Amino acid sequence: MRETHISRWSKVGTALAVSSAISMISGTAMANDKLVELQQNNENWVMQGKDFSGTHYSTQAQINKKNVEDLRVAWSFSTGVLNGHEGAPLVVDGMMYIHTPFPNNTFAIDLDNPGDIVWEHKPKQDPAARAVACCDVVNRGLAYWPGDENTPAMIVKSQLDGHVVTLNAETGEVHWKVENADISVGQTETAAPFVAKDLVIQGSSGAELGVRGYVTAYDIHTGEMAWRWYATGPDSDVGLADNFNSENPHYGQKGLGTSTWEDDAWKIGGGTNWGWYAYDPDLNMFYYGSGNPAPWNETMRPGDNKWTMTIWGRDLDTGLAKFGYQKTPHDEWDYAGVNVMMLSEQKDKDGKMRKLLTHPDRNGIVYTLDRETGDLVSANKMDDTANWVKKVDLETGLPIRDPEYSTRMGHRSRDVCPSAMGFHNQGFDSYDPERELFYLGLNHLCMDWEPFMLPYRAGQFFVGANVWSYPGPKGDRQNGIGSGQVKAYNAISGDFAWEKMEKFSIWGGTMVTKGGVVFYGTLDGFIKARDADNGDLLWKFKLPSGAIGHPMTYTHEGTQYVAINYGVGGWPAVGLVFDLNDPSAGLGAVGAFKELAKTTQMGGGVMVFSLDGKSPYTSDLSVGEYEM
């Protein structure tokens, strides 16, 4: 262990030295500034979260609450791939970049003539990757790096088989391709890469196969690994800064990545981070969540299981953690803590302006932290039906659990809320800085849970619990509907400005615009627009297939467009995708969404809308025509 420890530090040191040298040559700051400029320009949607803060907020108002009813299809694109289409396309400098689930194809589309595929990248992958994907073969999207004088602008993608690949944004040519996960031991990649400065940050997937989570940074120019840190294990592996949690020592500090596990269970302890990232350039810190401990059977892993289920605040250059707050110590319900991190600048209840981070967790609590210190500012139930926890003590940071809803061997726990799928899952939500409201797309699901023992074999499923999910108390459990909600949340007061029930989970997240409209997709295949002030339904359109990705918007040639991926799948739709009928199959999802197949079927593509359906083709009928 000591040798490994020294070796890793030495690797980090070397990598940092190289990285610094390259940065000086290539102008890291310039590339980062350019990325910020692109984020602020409404002609682009340059990253999955819209901006480093992950606001999903656009200042565009051409489409607004008064005219959104006039939205019509402008154009569409079929990816030719089935299965769940999570994430959203990117738009940069007049080009749309579209991704797909496995086999992880990528397309570049010319927005002047969307019928023109400028390039495509179709990787050859080991089909065995599909067998170790826990919940359909999804992918959450692409990242973009704007280039500098030495290296061209690049699209960055992850592949289910574990590769991270950079492509020349203009040509689609592979720049570099590295191995970041090995499917033979259950490691996969479903998370979107995240780019800041000259680093590609990549998460990990596979906790349902006992994969120990890790976060890795690669130099965008060369593909060289800058650093890698783990969710569990010795501090030297987890990457804790000297001042780790010094502002909040009650969260725990050193040595807990091993001492809160029995023996070597941390080596197969999960904590993969397949969700979303945010970055504060002023603090040079990035934020993400580590996921559930493995296996799901809590009896097999005594201890708090640090640092799974943790909100991390890490330094971008070194990856070292300044703070870590574990939301669900010793998880008993698979409340994987990987969900979206949204950054805001707001006055707290005492009127003090603070840099905040808001995170709607799977466990049914929406947390707001001071993102500089990790201080807990608020922690409220996103729905009052969450019952595993009575409340979160803001002084200690501890959830006060209700033992009635605990899980353990030899016992079937009933009516636990939320279900393993969470009251919120991978959806990328939005924050309106003018209204100071977070728009949350939610699940309303509860469950029965019964653990069982199983051995660990690398590369095989390592779950250890049977789960039956179903709509929560506010839904229609008998008929299997009423499993979704949309809410507008004030993180300072803890109040909900409005809330609406939905037929199915809102799996993909929301987008909000200055036009006062909240957009989101539904599993049964609608894209909807609601009034940001009161939640009134203003417009909807039936897509070719269910939506589990998030909407995005951009302006091209003076016209504002709204786009969304369609393609039902992902965890909620595994029953539909793989034709399963046992209600406990699909890790408990099949029963919860048994009605979904009556509303939609598989498909895959992008649908783009504008007012009155204006597009390059309506503006000029000759676009895309054969010319003599």
Partner 1 sequence: MKLKTIAVTCSALMMMSGGATVMAYDGTNCEKPGDCWEAKPGFPEKIKGTKYDPKHSEKELNKQQTALDEMEQRNAERVANFKKTGKWEY
Q: Is 282 a known active-site residue?
A: no
Cβ(502)–Cβ(423) below 8 Å = no
Residue 182 contacts partner 1 per CB under 8 A: yes
CB of 219 to partner 1, least distance (A): 8
DSSP character at residue 193: P
Q: Which two tokens stand for residue 239?
A: 């990457």
Q: Which stretch binds partner 1 (CB under 8 A): 76-84, 398-406, 584-592, 593-601?
A: 398-406
Number of residues that bind partner 1 (CB under 8 A): 67
The 354-393 site mask, x for binding partner 1 (CB under 8 A), equals ---------------------------------------x
Q: Give, in order, the Cα–Cα distances in Å from 32 to each of 144, 289, 382.
A: 11, 23, 35
CA 85/CA 71 separation, integer angstroms: 22
| Nearest residue (CB) to partner 1, 233 versus 472 | 233
What's the min distance (Å) between Cβ of 388 and partner 1?
Answer: 10
Nearest-CA neighbor of 287 among 392, 220, 374, 361?
374
Q: Which of 234, 329, 422, 570 binds partner 1 (CB under 8 A)?
A: 329
Nearest Cα to 266, choosing from 239, 298, 309, 234? 234
Q: Using the rule CB under 8 A, give the single segment among 401-409, 482-490, 491-499, 561-569 that binds partner 1.
A: 401-409
Residues 6+ apart with CB under 8 A from 66: none
The DSSP call for residue 303 is: S
Residue 264 falls in which region: left (phi positive, over 0), alpha (psi -120 to 50) or beta:
alpha
> Based on CB atoms, which residue is closest to partner 1, 250 or 412?
250
Residue of the chain from 36, 241, 409, 597 that contacts partner 1 (CB under 8 A): 409
Binding letters toward partner 1, positions 274-313, x by CB under 8 A = -------------------------xx-xxxxx-------
Distance CA 337, CA 356 (A): 18
Smallest gap, in angstroms, from Cβ of residue 595 to partner 1? Answer: 36
Interaction residues for partner 1, span 434-463 (CB under 8 A): 453-459
CB closer to partner 1 out of 310 and 513: 310
Rounded Cα–Cα distance for residues 290 and 286 (Å): 13
Contact map string, positions 231 to 260, toward partner 1, x by CB under 8 A: -----------------xxxxxx--x--xx
Can you tell me which of 152, 223, 433, 473 binds partner 1, judged by CB under 8 A? 223
Alpha-carbon distance of 159 to 155, in angstroms, equals 13
**Strand ranges (E), 509-600:** 510-513, 517-521, 526-531, 537-542, 552-556, 559-566
Establish if 396 lies at the interface with partner 1 (CB under 8 A). yes
Among 62, 373, 406, 490, binds partner 1 (CB under 8 A): 406
**Window contacting partner 1 (CB under 8 A); options: 136-144, 168-176, 486-494, 495-503:** 168-176
Query: Using the rule CB under 8 A, is 179 a contact of partner 1?
Result: yes
Q: How far is the CB of 589 from partner 1 (least distance, A)?
A: 26
Between CA 536 and CA 518 the distance in angstroms is: 10
Least distance to partner 1, CB of residue 426, Å:
23
Q: How far is the CB of 526 from partner 1 (least distance, A)?
A: 40
Neighbours of 613 (CB within 10 A): 15
Strands 214-219 vs 225-230: parallel, antiparallel or unpaired? antiparallel
Q: In 3-state terms, what secondary structure has residue 290?
A: coil
CB of 395 or CB of 579, closer to partner 1 = 395
Cα separation, 170 vs 112, in Å, equals 15
User: Judged by CB, which is closer to partner 1: 117, or 400?
Assistant: 400
497 CB neighbour count, 10 Å cutoff: 18
Q: Is 171 in the site for partner 1 (CB under 8 A)?
A: no
Indicate the residue among 304 and 502 with the shorter CB distance to partner 1: 304
CB of 179 to partner 1, least distance (A): 4
Please return the burial class of 531, using the count of CB atoms within 10 Å of its CB with bins 0-12, 13-18 and 19+.
middle
Residue 214 as a binder of partner 1 (CB under 8 A): the answer is yes
For residue 548, give both structure tokens: 């589990």
Q: Which is nearer to partner 1, 291 or 583 (CB)?
A: 291
For residue 422, the minimal CB distance to partner 1 (Å) is 19
Catalytic residue among 51, 136, 304, 334: 334
Cis amide bond preceding 471, omega within 30: no
Give the per-residue contact string, 79-98, with partner 1 (x = CB under 8 A; - = no).
--------------------
Which of 174, 479, 495, 557 is in the footprint of partner 1 by CB under 8 A? 174
Cis peptide, bond prior to residue 295, ω within 30 of zero? yes
Q: Which is nearer to partner 1, 257 or 475 (CB)?
A: 257
The region of 111-119, 402-410, 442-450, 605-613 touching partner 1 under the rule CB under 8 A is 402-410
Six-digit token pair at 512? 């909000």
Distance CA 292, CA 226 (A): 26
Is 532 within 8 Å of 520 (Cβ atoms)? Answer: no
Q: Assess 331 for contact with partner 1 (CB under 8 A).
A: no
Q: What's the distance, Cα to Cα, between the start and end of the chain in Å?
A: 71
Least Å from the CB of residue 479 to partner 1? 35
> C-beta of 263: minimal distance to partner 1 in Å?
7
User: Which CB atom, from 257 or from 551, has the smaller least distance to partner 1?
Assistant: 257
Q: Which is nearer to partner 1, 56 or 330 (CB)?
A: 330
Number of continuous H segments (helices) and E segments (strands) in the chain: 7, 38
3-state secondary structure 326-344: ECCCCCCCCCCCCCCCEEE
Centre a 10 Å sphere on the Cβ of residue 283 and count the other Cβ atoms it contains: 16
Residue 300 beta carbon to partner 1: minimum distance, rounded to whole angstroms: 5
Residue entry with tokens 């500012």: 377
CA separation for the pair 390, 363 (Å, rounded): 12
Window contacting partner 1 (CB under 8 A); options: 82-90, 182-190, 563-571, 572-580: 182-190
30 binds partner 1 (CB under 8 A): no
> Could you give the residue numbers annotated as active site?
334
User: For binding to partner 1 (CB under 8 A), which residues are involved?
Assistant: 11, 174-182, 184-187, 210-212, 214, 222-225, 228, 248-253, 256, 259-260, 262-265, 267-268, 299-300, 302-306, 326, 329-330, 393, 395-396, 398-403, 406, 408-409, 453-459
